[in-house]
Structure 1
């Protein structure tokens, strides 16, 4: 949309500055082309929708002077489900947490998750653990430097009755 606006401004500027170089019919043709292009872009923009059925939030909980619990919450849109970190072979993509390496902290163990629900998944035709509505994941860390920023990435898959979507999100914790 920004490119289209910029093109429109350039054409308008050129046509105003060099008004005597264009015949009236040429100006109408340019305006018609810009108008048509603008309408086509509007139609394209309204038909393309980014579907993000999982939204992530984070918070921290102080356990001791150096130990913290990183809490990651997935808010899952109604009708969708998010898969566990542990899924069977040949199944969906698992939820994966990738913490940035840093000298400011160390991970203690692995990321834990809620119990969830294990049901027969018709898409993959197997028993798979997943979460509906909301899921909470926790990671313990040992802090080595105060006032640290912890960065992580989440890769995941969520599905509804008609489609599965691969997702990716960056998350951050400030301690």
Structure 2
């Protein structure tokens, strides 16, 4: 019985350790007022070495593009679309096509018009992370960014 419990504990520990390893992207957020009427929110992905996330502009049949959905609020409105830096591009055998991606880190930016002195920008982002051996399922993350 003791050996069975030890085996079960070892398997659960290994699964838990593997789940921690397979979280290669950490997100952080910030905001900066440009003036009393405008601000920019920043959504930064810090990506572990060997892993990539993908541009917002990926062709059909490729990996899941990074995307952002903002929750409507009376305190702000969006100005334009989310801006991303120039991505890298390479042919990926997995998808049989050229894909645009980011590694190490990337900062996405969204301009907003302020309709109040302060705002909280909320929403959901979705991304997919891959390395040269595997792709993880797409992941959705809720965010909340205070603009003061």
TM-score by length of 1: 0.75
Instruction: Measure the CA separation in 2 of the matches of 1:36 and 1:107.
Output: 59
Residue 153 of structure 1 is matched in structure 2 by 124
Is the Cα contact below 8 Å between 1:152 and 1:171 reproduced in 2? Answer: yes
Q: CA deviation at 1:47?
A: 1.7
Q: 1:36 to 1:101 in 2, by over 3 A?
A: farther
How big is each residue's C-alpha offset from its partner over 1:10-36, in whole Å with a ceiling of 9 and x where there is no partner? xxxxxxxxxxxxxxxxxxxxxx5xx56
Verify: 1:45 aligned to 2:12, yes or no: yes
Q: 1:41 to 1:152 in 2, by over 3 A?
A: farther
1:100-111 matches, within 5 Å, as: 100-111=71-82
Verify: 1:163 aligned to 2:134, yes or no: yes
For 2:89, which of 118, 139, 144 is the aligned residue? 118
Q: CA deviation at 1:45?
A: 2.4
Is the Cα contact below 8 Å between 1:150 and 1:173 reproduced in 2? Answer: yes
1:6-25 matches, within 5 Å, as: none
Unmatched segments (≥5 aa) in structure 2: none
Is the Cα contact below 8 Å between 2:128 and 2:135 reproduced in 1? Answer: yes
Is the Cα contact below 8 Å between 2:36 and 2:117 reproduced in 1? Answer: no
Unmatched segments (≥5 aa) in structure 1: 1-31
Q: CA deviation at 1:102?
A: 1.2
Is the Cα contact below 8 Å between 2:70 and 2:122 reproduced in 1? Answer: yes
For 2:46, which of 62, 75, 94 is the aligned residue? 75
For 2:112, which of 123, 141, 156 is the aligned residue? 141
Instruction: Measure the CA separation in 1 of the matches of 2:11 and 2:69.
Output: 35
Instruction: Measure the CA separation in 2 of the matches of 1:158 and 1:88.
Output: 16
TM-score by length of 2: 0.88
Q: CA deviation at 1:46?
A: 1.3
Q: Higher strand fraction: Structure 1 or Structure 2?
A: 2
Is the Cα contact below 8 Å between 1:116 and 1:135 reproduced in 2? Answer: no
Report how many residues are paired. 142
